[in-house]
Amino acid sequence: MSTEAPMNAAQDNFPPMPEIGRPDPYYMRAIADADQSGDIHLRAALKVARYITLAISPKLPWEEKKRYFAHALKHHCATPSQDEATLKYYEELADTVRKYAGAEALRLASQEDDMWAARTALGQDRALIEDDAEAFFGRILGQGEQRPDFFTDGDWSQLKLIRDQWI
């Protein structure tokens, strides 16, 4: 379980980011409570925490992780109003999603990078490794050179550096 530092926006009557890594029933109960009390900002923060928690499960394939991260950004980081404090709060929620999405993609890429290096050290044909790397990074980065919204510029650049070593 990882603890997320409270957001600065809490001073403007916005809730802090809930803890990432709690069991799903915890989030479901807390979301129902936020719905019942009409606290739309707490509901959004809990939904973001829930989807991040689901996405960072080590057993999920990247395609499902990506779906959770994208869903959290699209549906729960969209600001319900345009005032400055609300915009800032929802951007902080979105930044939290991006932080976890980038870390998860980099973790997966690092594992693959280590495996490809070991295969190279064992003398495996580089063309086979390149084919595997191309397929892997096609799934992680998508097609083309446009950064998906769930990655920061820094994470996107690091992922491309790892990719470029193998492709």
- According to the model, what pLDDT value does residue 8 have? 42
Write the pLDDT tens digit of every residue in 9-54: 444 689 999 999 999 999 999 999 999 999 999 999 999 999 999 9
Write the pLDDT tens digit of every residue in 153-167: 999 999 999 999 999
Q: Is position 1 within any domain?
A: no
- According to the model, what pLDDT value does residue 6 have? 42
Q: Helix H segments across 72-125? A: 84-121
Instruction: Please report where in the chains the tokens 């490794």 appear, as a residue.
Output: 129
- According to the model, what pLDDT value does residue 145 have? 82
- According to the model, what pLDDT value does residue 37 have? 96
Q: Is position 129 within any domain?
A: yes
Long-range contacts of 144-151 (CB under 8 A, 24+ apart): 148/66, 148/70, 149/70, 149/73, 149/98, 150/66, 150/69, 150/70, 150/73, 150/97, 150/98, 150/101, 150/102, 151/98, 151/101, 151/102, 151/105
Q: Is position 64 within any domain?
A: yes
Side-chain-side CA neighbours of 152 within 13 Å: the count stands at: 17
- According to the model, what pLDDT value does residue 3 have? 43
Write the pLDDT tens digit of every residue in 60-116: 999 999 999 999 999 999 998 889 999 999 999 999 999 999 999 999 999 999 999
HEC secondary structure over 33-82: HHHHHCCHHHHHHHHHHHHHHHHCCCCCCHHHHHHHHHHHHHHHCCCCCC
Average pLDDT over residues 132-136: 96
Q: Is position 26 within any domain?
A: yes
Tokens, residue 37 = 């009390």
Q: Is position 128 within any domain?
A: yes
- According to the model, what pLDDT value does residue 2 have? 44
- According to the model, what pLDDT value does residue 12 have? 62
Tokens, residue 100 = 């976890």
Q: Is position 20 within any domain?
A: yes
Q: Which domain holds residue 147?
A: 8-166
Number of domains in the chain: 1
Q: Is position 2 within any domain?
A: no
- pTM of the model as a whole: 0.88
Q: Is position 79 within any domain?
A: yes
| Pairwise CA distance, residues 22 & 46, whole Å | 11
